[in-house]
Each structure stands twice: as C-alpha cells, then as structure tokens.
Chains A and B, each alone.
Chain A
Amino acid sequence: MTDNGALLAATGITKQFGGIVALDHVNLDVRPGEAVGIVGPNGAGKTTFFNCLFGLEEPDEGTVVFAGRRIDRLPVWKRSRLGIGRTFQRMELFEGMTVADHLLVAEQAASGTVRIWRDLLHRGGPTPSELHHVEEGLDRLGLAALADRPIDTLDLGHARLVELGRAMMGKPRLLMLDEPSSGLDAEDTARLGRILVETRRSTGVAVVLVEHDLALVETTVDRLVVLNFGKVLATGGVADVLADPEVRRAYLGVVS
C-alpha cells in the first residue's frame, strides 16, 4: 500500500446512504508534500469522501492508510494526532475564544497529554515552546495583530485563516481543506491562496483541497481529481484535466 511512497492511500472507498451510492470505489493516493485538488459538481461526493478520510463518516467498504498505518477505524481525534489537520466548509470555530487561544488549544491538544492534574498543581499552563509555536503560527497567517481578538468579532476572511492556522498547529503532515474559499471575496481568496502556497513551501505539508474556485485550485495544487456521481471521472495534471471534454461536460456544463 505504501510501497508507492504515498502518505495517504485511500483504496476502494464506498459509501451508501440508503439507496444512494455516494461514493463508489474511490481511490486516492497523496504523496508526502503533494497537493491534490478534488473538484466535481455539487453532490459528487466530495465532502462525503473527505469525511470518510477524516473519520466523520465510516465507509461501507475500503481502507484508508496514513503514513503506513490503517486509520479507517480510528476516531477523529486519533487521526488528528497522527498528523492530519482539517478545516470545514461550514466553519467550526471555538465561539467566544480569542484567535491566539484557537491556535493554543490545537497546539496543546496535538501533544495529547491530559492536563487536569497539572492544572490542579497550577502547572497546566502552556510551555514556552508551545507559546513560541503559536506565535509562529500567528505570524505565518499575518494574524499577530488580531491575536487577542475574540473570534466572533473577526470577518469571514480572517476567520477562515484562523481555521487554517488551527489546522496547521502540531505540524500535521496532511492538511485537508474543505472549500476554504466559500463565502470569501476575490481578494480574501487570493490572500488565502498566497498563504497556502507559502505554508506548503515552508512546512512541506501535503494538501487535499476540495474547492469550487478554479483559480484557487490552479494556483495551489499539483494534481486534480474529478469526482462525479461518486466515481473518479478523471485524474492528472490541472491543465490536462480541465481540458478533458468529459470533465468540462460534467463539471462546467460546457461543451467546447
């Protein structure tokens, strides 16, 4: 499974909801450091596939191997600690907490120690290295000035960045982004793209990106997978795939 050097290898993922086959033997390999975009029309099964990889849905069939380890029966938090970070299409933020605390929670959670006993001895606070990592994360996103702002007072563009930053804490090897541009205007999307590219360059993290905004996809991914009706319709380099007439018909609704 991993002899091809894949960081993430999903094989034969199948998922049915009642009579509807949402995913039909979908395969995906992601090499370390590689960025793969998943595109497809609404209802193609992109988010379901994401959820199967991340553990929010259990696939009916198929295996998911991450870094040489079967993970398809592990709970979400264990997958996260193995080194998978993700963001959500419908943002999931820690309402009421500050930007810095979002990153700090993620940083501390990644180390996996339960701290209640240390809290009771008043030794449960973050370590200098944890604080340093949070600082780094804030700088990477350009959010240092907003560190103490409650998340509820941020605009959508910055909130998306916080979600990205949170997913990047604990140095994940794989970053899963579910439509990060949804709801953003062109300027915010462009900034997100820049930060994504920069993050990949500086950390070498592999990325799986579900995205509708083709401009963002083109600037950030190496390879494209097109899903349609739960099946892989095409895969390959971005330009090649987008030029494929079948893809254009299914996805763009255009026959050129």
Chain B
Amino acid sequence: MTQFLNYAIPGVPFGCVFALMAVGLVLTYKASGVFNLAFGAQAFVSALAYVSLIQDDWPRWAAGVIAVLVIGPFVGVLLDRLLFRRIRTASPLVKLVPSLGLLVALPQLALIIAGSEPAIPPPAFVGNAQRVYLHLGSVPISGLELSISAVTVVVVVALVVLFRFTPVGLEMRAVVESPRMTELAGVNAGRVSAFAWILSSIMAALAGVLLAPLYSQLDPQNFTVLLVWGIAGAVIGRFSSLPLALVGGLALGIAQQVVAGYMPAGVIANGLRPSLPFVVLLVFLPLTRQRQLDDPLSTCDPPSSAVERTTSGYHSASTLAVDGGGAHRVGLWHQRLVGGGIARRSGLLTRRPTATLAWAVATLAVVSALTWVPPDWLLTMNQGVAFAIIFLSLTLLTGMTGQISLCQATFAGLGGFMAGQLANHTGLPVVLGMVAGGLLAALLGVLVAIPTLRLAGLPLALATLAFALLADNILFPNSWIGNGAGGVTLPRPSAGPVSFAAAKPFFLLSLVVLAVAAGVVKLVGDGTMGRYLSAIRGSELAASSVGLDVYRLRVLVFALSAALAGVGGALFGSLEGSLSPDSFGYQISAVLLVVVAIVGLNSITGAVVAGVVYATLQVAVTTLPSRFAGLVAVLFGLATLSYTRHPEGFLDYLGARTQHAIARRRAEGRGPPTAMPDTGAGVGAAVGDTTSPVGEGA
C-alpha cells in the first residue's frame, strides 16, 4: 500500500492537469459541437506568453494572471468567433480539419509573435518549483506539485460553485445537455457557448502554465502529448459528463505513474505509459453511445447549407455532376439497359473539365522528369508519387466513406518497416516486401477497425490517433519493427536483370505502383462497392435496412486503405533507402489528412496533387531558414480556415468555377433558357425534412 501511494501521489499533479484539459474539452465539445484539438496549442500559447512575460521582468503572478485570464480567453473567443461557431453543424471531417491545422499553426504563430523562444526554463506559478515543501509519507512534494494541486482544487471549487449556484452555470449545464433545447427555452445559447469557450480556454491556459515548469524548454510537441491525455479523460467522461471527465483525468494521471512504477524498466514500460490513452480509448469508446455524442434535438437541425452538402464527399459529387451536366443525362439509365452493357455508375469520382488539364500536366511532368529535370527535383517528384499513394488511402477511406483516420502515417510506416525487415533478414525481394508490408498494414487495420468502427466519425478519429501514439511508443522503437532512432534500411528493388536502383527507373516503378493504387481506388469507387459506400453515407439506417452489413463493409474499406498506405510507405522507404520512425509519427498522420482534405478528397487527381504539394512543402520547410519554416506552418494552418468554406477541396472548387464559367459563356452565346430544361422541375420542392434542392448556388 505504501509503495502504491509512493507511486500514486506523484501522479496527482499530472492528474490535475489532465483533468483540467478533459473538462475544457468536454465543455467546448458540448457547447459548440466541435472537439477542439487545438486545445493543446492553446495551452502552449498561454505557457509561452507566461514565460515570455517573466523573461521581460514581469512578476510571476502578474504574468500568470495575464496568460491565464487574458490571453487564454482571448485566443479562445477569437477561435470561436472566427471559426468554430460557423461549423457547428458541419460534417465531422469539416469540424476536425481546422482544429488539426490550428494545432500545428497556432504555436508557430505564437512563436513568431513572441519573437524568439524564451531562453529561461519556465518557473512555477507560485513558490519554488524544485523546492520540497513537505512530505506525504515518504513522498516529497515539490513546490510545482503543490502549486498545481492547490490551483486545481481552487478551480474545481470555483467550477462547482459556478455550475451549482449561478444562473449562467445552470444555463451552461443545459447547453451541455442540448444546445437546441436550451435555445428553445429562451436562453441565448450563443452567449452561453461563448462563455463556455472562455471557461474552456482558461482551462487550457491553466494546464499550460501549470505544467510548463516540468519541461526545461517549451516545445509545442509536449503540449500535444498533453492533449492526448486530456482526450482520454474526456472519453472517460463519455464526451458529456464534466464530473466524470474530471475524475477520469485525475485517475489517468495517477495510473500513468503507478504503471510506470510497477513495470520493470524497458521498452514496454517506457512505451506503456504514453500508450495508456490508447488503452483507455479502446476500453471506453465502445461504451460511448451515439446519443451521448448528439444533441437530443440534433435531428431537428436545419439541413446544412447546400454548398457543404454537395461537397462533403463522393456521392454528392455525383449529384453535382448531374445537376451541372444538365438534362441530357436523364434517360441514360435506359440507354445503358438498351445498350446491353453493364451499367456503371459514372459519378463517384468527380469528373471535371480540369481532368483533361490534369492529364496534360501529369504527362508533361513525367516527360520532364525523364528528360531534363535535375536529380534533386526528380527526387522530390518521386517523393510526391510515394505520398500520393498514401493520400489515395485517404481518398478511399475518408473521401468515400467519410471515416476519419489519424493513423495513416502509422500504417505507412509499418508497411515500410515490414518491407525493410523482410529484405534485411530474409532477403525477400523488395517488391514482394512492399506487398507484404501492405498486407501487414491491412491486418493491423482490421485489428484497429474491429473495436472502433461501430462508432463512426469523431470516436474513430480519436481511436486512430491513440493507435498512432501507441505505435509511436511501442511498435516503432522495437528493433523488430521500427528499430527506434536507428531506423530500418530498405534498398531499392530489382527484378531479375532489371535494377530500379537509379533514379529514373525507380521513378517509373513508382508511377506503376501509383497507377495500380489509383486503379484500385477507381474500381472500388465506380463499382458496386462504391455504390454501397455511397448509400451508407446517404443513410446508414436505410443501408442496413436493405441488407447491407455496414460494419463489415467499413472494416473492409479500412483494411484496404491501410494496405494502400502500407505500400506507399514501403515505396517511400525504398526511395529514401531507409525509414526512420520520425517520418511516421502521429502528427504526420494529422498533417497528411489536412493536406489532402484541403487539396481534395474526392478525386485521384486530388491525391496526386496533394502528394506533389506535400513533397514540395517538405523541401521548403527543410531548406528555408527556420523563421520561414514557422511561417509555412502558419500558412498551412490558415489554409484550413479557408477549407471550412470550401470543404470540397481546392481542386473541386476550381473545377466548379471553371464549369460555371464555361456554362455561363455557353448560355450567353446561345441566348436564354434552353439550357437544362428538365432538372429545374423538381428543384424547389423539398424532399422530406432532411433534403432540399441541391445546387451550386451560382
């Protein structure tokens, strides 16, 4: 028992911070429907402000008060006003992407504003961080631990008073229960939601300021890790209960110290502690019911705006094509029948006038690559091709099913490591190793999917994030898998007398692999499977009511997507000659998702362009001076803000613009309304209460 306490007591301060984060996350989630992953960045910003002010000779208390009560809420309210309020009823992906972007961009923006990273180690809020003030049993309690615990107790008491005894607390509890119902009761939910954001931001700021002294230097990375613990706490609170989230966070803090204490030292023990959130998510997510995630009145939400719906994925893309394509398509069904050919759905992958342009550009690029392009450019292009394959895995998963994975980089890494290990230990030809890597990734994909895919949307995203973290900490450091910092070598393949070691042959090989991957995505998207997935997106309930095993289809697609990522990772590793776990960390997965979402998840072109963009960005970040590298990250984050306005992605937006311009020119040339005689008939009559006319809103 004493030993247990010896381990448990040092965990309490951690638990306090986790609890603050968990409470903050639940507050904003329920108040505004957005699971705010930028929370970790908010914590960092306040911590940075706090340390910078102290460096400028402000007294610690004043720096703390400004960081927590001024800067924290300021950032929170800004985010709410500018962004989160506008995406309340958007799809899970549209809600998630900007917060991921901000998670990357906010800290960099703050660093640019602050001018430089603070040189001093962060001091404790009150007292001396290192000094031991008292002993609990034999456990020394330092000033840092004491201040964290004391502040948390004060905050919790204040929260209880606020929620129990004040009108705004009551309103906030009501909003957490159901924003819509609260509004119907005559409460201004917007005001209450703003208040919830302020409160939540104060939690983030407090967590940042309180925990900062733990690190010798402020690194945004540390605060992201902190965020994952907060998420686990929020999941224990089932996304809806503030007291449970509080207790959950506290319990996690204690548990991680206890686990670390009892386990023998080694990779597993070192890895187990950081992967505890994954275990928690795995256990608690299946216990979460969809109705705890939803507003009880969410079915009464007005339909989302036409633009957002037409652009939220594959099936809608086809609608657009039909709307825009005009009446000549009507009756195609019969032509197909009469023609005796196999009717194929033609709209799952978006097809635009820009498609021809894309082919032209691609051909030009390939010809250039093989003729005059300098070697380092060719390398970048080849990296782009490898990334494109990984992006295709997201086109398949997220574009077609709307499921969000934050562990595609993990699958890519596992695929690459598998190929490398097989080549090094068994001498398996590298090409076969790539296939094996893909299969392994698919297998792990199934293992991840089975417990998590019953809940779509946000819970899946969080579970995959936790899995990525687990892989980072347990799988990648293992010498049989990622071999830790050493990484794994992976030679370029050869097939009989043909060697792909040189740059150009390897580029050609990469193009072939890309073509196969693109073919898989296209066949699935245009085939019966694509039609099933489209149906599931339209209505999961109706899909199962006609006999589709929704769950099994999702697992299948998830596995196939993981396989694509695995192959892409193996190709990338072979291109580079070696793979390091750093290239496949969980934050990379987040960046990958954001990049492809911004460029376009609805087409193969989107994945290829995203691949080239991402490879170029990487070159930019590594070659530019660090000040500018930060700027790139900020721009990247800002791009996610524009994404909320054009969730169809940049390419589709461009395509739609072009299409409209062409249509308008034709209409002007031909004179009025002969265009589209038939499609107008039904437009204007709302179908049921969920659907309304879909149009581009010229």
- A-to-B contact residues, CB < 8 Å: 54, 56, 75-77, 80-81, 85-86, 88, 90-98, 100-102, 104-106, 108-110, 112, 114-116, 118-120, 122, 124-126, 131, 135, 144, 147-156, 159, 166-167, 169-170, 183
- Using a CB-CB cutoff of 8 Å, which residues 323-376 of chain B contact chain A? 323, 329-334, 337, 342-345
From known contacts A116-B556, A153-B694, infer whether A97 and B318 are also in contact, taking CB-CB under 8 Å: yes
Shortest CB-to-CB span from A133 to chain B, Å, is: 12
Residue of A nearest to B322 (CB): A150
From known contacts A109-B532, A131-B337, A152-B319, infer whether A95 and B527 are also in contact, taking CB-CB under 8 Å: no
Roughly how many angstroms separate A41 CA and B95 CA in the complex, as a whole number?
Answer: 40
**Is the beta-carbon distance between B683 and A96 smaller than 8 angstroms?**
no
If A77-B547, A77-B548, A159-B687 are given as contacts, then 9 extra A-B residue pairs at C-beta distance below 8 Å, sorted by A number, are A93-B542, A97-B315, A101-B535, A120-B524, A124-B523, A150-B318, A150-B319, A153-B682, A154-B687
Q: List 13 A-B contacts (CB under 8 A).
A: A80-B547, A98-B333, A102-B535, A105-B535, A114-B556, A122-B523, A124-B523, A131-B343, A149-B330, A151-B691, A153-B682, A155-B687, A169-B546
**B interface residues, tally (CB under 8 Å):** 61
Residues of B contacting A92 with CB < 8 Å?
539, 541-542, 545
Residues of B contacting A81 with CB < 8 Å?
547
Residue B679 interfacial (CB < 8 Å): yes
Roughly how many angstroms separate A110 CA and B535 CA in the complex, as a whole number?
Answer: 14
**Is the beta-carbon distance between A116 and B524 smaller than 8 angstroms?**
yes
Shortest CB-to-CB span from B497 to chain A, Å, is: 30
**Is the beta-carbon distance between A95 and B690 smaller than 8 angstroms?**
yes
Residues of B contacting A155 with CB < 8 Å?
682, 685, 687
Roughly how many angstroms separate A102 CA and B534 CA in the complex, as a whole number?
Answer: 10
Roughly how many angstroms separate A152 CA and B524 CA in the complex, as a whole number?
Answer: 24
Residues of A contacting B548 with CB < 8 Å?
77, 105, 109
Residue of B nearest to A116 (CB): B529
From known contacts A88-B542, A148-B331, infer whether A115 and B529 are also in contact, taking CB-CB under 8 Å: yes
Q: Which of A94, A122, A124 contacts B543 (CB 8 A)?
A: A94
Q: Which of B345, B683, B687 contacts A101 (CB 8 A)?
A: B345
Roughly how many angstroms separate A231 CA and B528 CA in the complex, as a whole number?
Answer: 44
* 5 A-B pairs closest in CB distance: A119-B527, A94-B538, A153-B682, A96-B315, A92-B542
Roughly how many angstroms separate A9 CA and B74 CA in the complex, as a whole number?
Answer: 63
Residues of B contacting A114 with CB < 8 Å?
552-553, 556
Residues of A contacting B343 with CB < 8 Å?
104, 125-126, 131
Contact mask for chain B residues 375-415; partner A; CB cutoff 8 A; 1 contact, 0 none:
00000000000000000000000000000000000000000
**Is the beta-carbon distance between B693 and A96 smaller than 8 angstroms?**
no
From known contacts A97-B538, A159-B688, infer whether A54 and B546 are also in contact, taking CB-CB under 8 Å: no
Roughly how many angstroms separate A88 CA and B309 CA in the complex, as a whole number?
Answer: 22
Roughly how many angstroms separate A5 CA and B556 CA in the complex, as a whole number?
Answer: 40
**Is the beta-carbon distance between B523 and A94 smaller than 8 angstroms?**
no
Roughly how many angstroms separate A80 CA and B550 CA in the complex, as a whole number?
Answer: 13
Residues of A contacting B549 with CB < 8 Å?
75, 77
Residues of B contacting A159 with CB < 8 Å?
687-688
Shortest CB-to-CB span from A50 to chain B, Å, is: 12
Number of A-B contacts (CB under 8 A): 194
Residues of A contacting B691 with CB < 8 Å?
93, 95, 151-152
- B-to-A contact residues, CB < 8 Å: 299, 309, 315-316, 318-319, 322-323, 329-334, 337, 342-345, 520, 523-524, 527-532, 534-535, 537-539, 541-550, 552-553, 556, 560, 679, 681-683, 685-694
Residues of B contacting A183 with CB < 8 Å?
688
Roughly how many angstroms separate A75 CA and B342 CA in the complex, as a whole number?
Answer: 32
Roughly how many angstroms separate A119 CA and B185 CA in the complex, as a whole number?
Answer: 52
**Is the beta-carbon distance between B315 and A94 smaller than 8 angstroms?**
yes
Secondary structure dominating the interface of B:
helix
Shortest CB-to-CB span from A192 to chain B, Å, is: 15
Residues of B contacting A86 with CB < 8 Å?
545
Roughly how many angstroms separate A73 CA and B74 CA in the complex, as a whole number?
Answer: 53
Residues of A contacting B527 with CB < 8 Å?
115-116, 118-119, 122, 124-125
Shortest CB-to-CB span from A51 to chain B, Å, is: 11
Residue of B nearest to A155 (CB): B685
**Is the beta-carbon distance between A90 and B688 smaller than 8 angstroms?**
yes
**Is the beta-carbon distance between A95 and B316 smaller than 8 angstroms?**
yes
Q: Which of B315, B329, B686 contacts A148 (CB 8 A)?
A: B329
**Is the beta-carbon distance between A106 and B333 smaller than 8 angstroms?**
no
Residues of A contacting B550 with CB < 8 Å?
77
**Is the beta-carbon distance between B547 and A166 smaller than 8 angstroms?**
no
Residues of B contacting A98 with CB < 8 Å?
322, 333
Residues of A contacting B693 with CB < 8 Å?
152-153
Residues of B contacting A101 with CB < 8 Å?
345, 531, 534-535
**Is the beta-carbon distance between B531 and A104 smaller than 8 angstroms?**
yes
Shortest CB-to-CB span from A61 to chain B, Å, is: 22
Roughly how many angstroms separate A126 CA and B331 CA in the complex, as a whole number?
Answer: 18
**Is the beta-carbon distance between B544 and A76 smaller than 8 angstroms?**
yes
Residue of B nearest to A151 (CB): B687
Roughly how many angstroms separate A100 CA and B549 CA in the complex, as a whole number?
Answer: 21
From known contacts A105-B532, A148-B329, A153-B683, infer whether A94 and B318 are also in contact, taking CB-CB under 8 Å: no
Shortest CB-to-CB span from A31 to chain B, Å, is: 23
Among B524, B538, B686, chain A packs the most CB atoms within 10 A around the CB of B538
Roughly how many angstroms separate A86 CA and B543 CA in the complex, as a whole number?
Answer: 11
Residue of A nearest to B323 (CB): A150
Q: Which of B318, B523, B532, B552 contacts A96 (CB 8 A)?
A: B318
Roughly how many angstroms separate A80 CA and B688 CA in the complex, as a whole number?
Answer: 23
Roughly how many angstroms separate A108 CA and B688 CA in the complex, as a whole number?
Answer: 25
Shortest CB-to-CB span from A57 to chain B, Å, is: 13
Roughly how many angstroms separate A167 CA and B322 CA in the complex, as a whole number?
Answer: 25
**Is the beta-carbon distance between B523 and A120 smaller than 8 angstroms?**
yes
Among A104, A116, A151, chain B packs the most CB atoms within 10 A around the CB of A116
Among B319, B535, B539, B560, chain A packs the most CB atoms within 10 A around the CB of B535
Among B543, B546, B688, chain A packs the most CB atoms within 10 A around the CB of B546
Roughly how many angstroms separate A111 CA and B528 CA in the complex, as a whole number?
Answer: 12
Among B329, B344, B530, B685, chain A packs the most CB atoms within 10 A around the CB of B685
Residues of A contacting B560 with CB < 8 Å?
116
**Is the beta-carbon distance between B542 and A94 smaller than 8 angstroms?**
yes
**Is the beta-carbon distance between A119 and B688 smaller than 8 angstroms?**
no
Shortest CB-to-CB span from A149 to chain B, Å, is: 7
**Is the beta-carbon distance between B544 and A152 smaller than 8 angstroms?**
no
Roughly how many angstroms separate A102 CA and B535 CA in the complex, as a whole number?
Answer: 8
Residues of B contacting A91 with CB < 8 Å?
687-690
From known contacts A93-B542, A109-B548, infer whether A135 and B687 are also in contact, taking CB-CB under 8 Å: no
Residue of A nearest to B549 (CB): A77
Roughly how many angstroms separate A101 CA and B535 CA in the complex, as a whole number?
Answer: 9
Residues of A contacting B523 with CB < 8 Å?
119-120, 122, 124
Residues of A contacting B530 with CB < 8 Å?
119
**Is the beta-carbon distance between A126 and B319 smaller than 8 angstroms?**
no
Residues of A contacting B688 with CB < 8 Å?
90-91, 93, 156, 159, 183
Shortest CB-to-CB span from B101 to chain A, Å, is: 27
Shortest CB-to-CB span from B456 to chain A, Å, is: 16
Residues of B contacting A96 with CB < 8 Å?
315-316, 318-319, 534, 537-538, 694
Roughly how many angstroms separate A81 CA and B546 CA in the complex, as a whole number?
Answer: 7
**Is the beta-carbon distance between B528 and A95 smaller than 8 angstroms?**
no
Shortest CB-to-CB span from B313 to chain A, Å, is: 8
Shortest CB-to-CB span from A102 to chain B, Å, is: 8
Shortest CB-to-CB span from B341 to chain A, Å, is: 9
Shortest CB-to-CB span from A59 to chain B, Å, is: 18
Roughly how many angstroms separate A212 CA and B610 CA in the complex, as a whole number?
Answer: 54
**Is the beta-carbon distance between B545 and A80 smaller than 8 angstroms?**
yes
Roughly how many angstroms separate A90 CA and B552 CA in the complex, as a whole number?
Answer: 26
Among A118, A125, A166, A169, chain B packs the most CB atoms within 10 A around the CB of A125
Residues of B contacting A110 with CB < 8 Å?
546-547
Shortest CB-to-CB span from B329 to chain A, Å, is: 6
Roughly how many angstroms separate A112 CA and B531 CA in the complex, as a whole number?
Answer: 14
Roughly how many angstroms separate A170 CA and B681 CA in the complex, as a whole number?
Answer: 31
Residue of B nearest to A170 (CB): B547
**Is the beta-carbon distance between A125 and B333 smaller than 8 angstroms?**
no
Roughly how many angstroms separate A205 CA and B333 CA in the complex, as a whole number?
Answer: 28
